[in-house]
Structure 1
Amino acid sequence: MGWKTKPQEEDGEERENGDAVHVPVFRNKEKVLITCSRRINFRYRHLMLNVASLLPHSKRDSKVESKESKGATLNELVELKNCSSCMFFECRKHKDLYLWMAKSPDGPSVKFLVNAVHTMEELKLTGNHLKGSRPLLTFSANFDKEPHWMLLKELMLQIFQIPKDHRKSKPFHDHVFAFSIVDDHIWFRNYQITVPHNEPTKMDRGGLDKMTLTEVGPRFCLNPIKIFGGSFGGPTLYENPFYISPNQIRSLQKKKKAGKYVKKVKAKTRRKMHELSNPMERDELADMWKE
């Protein structure tokens, strides 16, 4: 589980009656598997690569078929890759992107609908932070109001927080991951911590008022659908009552367009019936110039 015992030479041991007692120290060994489904859109694939570049403790694998058995396949891949979490980007109909965040093998897991996707390549923002540096995670105050938001906060903390002293990470912080809840959606932003050019490179403690945030990207919005008790399944712990599937939205839009066409056809029919029931009187001078 990541616990280790400090050697006797290290400082920080507790002594009872003159005898050294080994104090267990927790070492974060969190690893995240990032993969996607087959036939994924190029834009969503670029988003997945952007997220993988922000998480140096992540591992990637080949694409997984998006079927009912994907849960068992992903749990097996997570075990083979020696990971404890998984982010699965599932694309359907080349239009809709669903994001699964799961703790393997015991859960919980969350299914999101991803909206407002903007990758780093298309944004072209001015911010730029060092690759592999550890981020500061910030959450809005709304995450502490309801139980399902608290669960999502803890899950995202464990997935997006880079372990300390990880071999692929840098030992300092120069960017911020911001998670905000607006209209029951989670909005993700990535900012670089910048210092004005006229200031010295090293700042004193407490000089946060001189620092500014510059957005780097990517951007996306997460709409939670369901929270499951297991990994990629299990009992439903929470279901969003305000969620409307993209298929239903497209169906309503088609019905709205079909209603406009039906109105036009009915208007033409009424016009013809009106002309037949009210014929125009014959003009006596209509055929005068034909002779």
Structure 2
Amino acid sequence: MAAVYKSISKSSATKVDAPSNGIKRNKQRVLILSSRGVTYRHRHLLNDIASMLPHSRKDAKFDSKTKLYELNELAELYNCNNVLFFEARKGKDLYVWLSKVPNGPTVKFHLQNLHTMEELHFTGNCLKGSRPILSFDAAFEKQPHLRVIKELFLHTFGVPEGARKSKPFIDHVMGFSFADGKIWVRNYQISEVEASKGDEEEDKSHKSRGGKDTDVNLVEIGPRFVLTPIVIQEGSFGGPIIYENKEFVSPNQVRSDIRKGKASRHNARAEQTVGRLSRKSDLGLRTKGPRVAKSELDTKMLFA
């Protein structure tokens, strides 16, 4: 895993050019695209992320779900060295592939708890094309596979200075937290509000230190979602698996278990009904059956 971490750093270093004026530019570009079968919520999430990343390039939907290695050629065609691919399954499940082209590694996530900007109606807002501050939980430095994921997040969501269509402002924060084996992603606006006049002595001491009477707050913008790491491959959309999440259960398996549970309860009720009827017949008790019309020559009808 450490070798993979070093390979990512080397691949990013190759994209830093030193022009004649001596200013180095980090040429990180991200290709964002999805597969066939995405829902409108998945499409809105893709548009939200693309609007937050001015160094990204959107492309049409990718037809194949098996030949993902062809995305490397597509990324080279658009001069991109990062790929963010949304793979939809059965119109319900969404998987996210994050790859470093062309040498890898590649991380596959399962995306859950999706809420787009259009759904949330948060009051926060940020300038389109501004650069974000990436905030990571301390847990990303404790495990090797989380360090690899953190480096990929830095290359994908970190807008380099002087990037294409980027603005020279930093007015929002992207937070990545790790809890319960999942990565929780949030986006906040950096809001500066004038300080209240509650404590005049603190204001005077603050002014004496050269500060301004402003309070910095974070206001959520959206979108918000949760990523569950599944596997990490050494290459770009291929190669040996260097990490696998043994605790991950696919949503197909969850739905199958729910259906089997309902079927087992139905079978148990059917078996109880058959057993009850058989016991009644053994005891000579009358069991409920289809009603038969009484005849006029029946004994009970004649001698009533």
Q: Please give the TM-score of this superposition, normalised by the length of structure 2.
A: 0.82
Amino acid at match of 1:39: G
- Matched with 2:48 is 50
Contact in 1 for aligned 2:194/2:215 (Cα 8 Å): no
| Counterparts in 2 of 1:32 and 1:240: CA distance versus 1, 3 Å | same
Shift of 1:205: 7.5
Alignment-mate amino acid for residue 264 of structure 1: R
Matching residue within 184, 187, 193 for 2:184: 187
Cα distance in 1, alignment partners of residues 211 and 44 from structure 2: 38
- CA displacement 1:3-39 (0-9 Å, x = unmatched): 21453xxxxxxxxxxxxxxxx6531110000000012
Q: Is the 8 A contact 1:176 1:190 kept in 2?
A: yes
Q: Supply the distance in 1 between the matched residues of 2:86 and 2:247 (Cα, whole angstroms).
A: 22
Q: Structure 1 counterpart of 2:155, which letter? A: Q
Please name the residue that 1:246 is paired with. 251
User: What does residue 88 of structure 1 align with?
Assistant: 85
Q: Would you say the 8 A contact 1:66–1:90 is kept in 2?
A: no
Distance 2:222 2:26 in 1: 26
Cα distance between partner residues in 2 of 1:69 and 1:207 = 56
Q: 1:116 aligned to 2:113?
A: yes
| Cα shift at 1:175 | 0.7
Q: Is the 8 A contact 2:194 2:214 kept in 1?
A: no
Match of 1:2 in 2: 16
Give 3-state SS (helix, strand or coil) of 1:238's partner: strand
Give the whole-Å Cα distance in 2 for the aligned partners of 1:171 and 1:190.
Answer: 19
Say which SS state the counterpart of residue 162 (structure 1) adopts: coil
Query: Is this contact kept in 1: 2:124–2:189, CA < 8 A?
Result: yes
Q: How far did residue 174 of structure 1 move?
A: 0.9
Select which of 275, 278, 299 maps to 1:273: 278
SS in 1 for 2:154: helix
Report the count of equivalent residues: 266
What is aligned with 1:64? 62
Distance (whole Å) between structure 1 residues aligned to residue 214 and residue 79 of structure 2: 42
Paired with 2:211 and 2:27, the residues of 1 have a C-alpha distance of 31
Q: CA deviation at 1:66?
A: 3.1
- Alignment CA distance shift 1:156-1:206 (3 Å): farther
- Structure 2 distance, partners of 1:205, 1:256, is 67
Separation in structure 1 between the aligned mates of residue 119 and residue 268 of structure 2, nearest angstrom: 41
Is the contact made by 1:177 and 1:189 (CA closer than 8 Å) also made in structure 2? yes
**Contact between 2:195 and 2:215, CA under 8 Å: does it hold in 1?**
no
Aligned to 1:106: 103
Which moved further from structure 2: 182-191 or 265-274?
265-274
Aligned to 1:226: 231
Between the aligned partners of 1:56 and 1:165, the Cα distance in structure 2 is: 10
2:169 to 154, 168, 172: 172
State percent identity of aligned pairs: 47
- Whether the aligned pair in 1 keeps the contact of 2:29 and 2:82 (CA below 8 Å) is yes
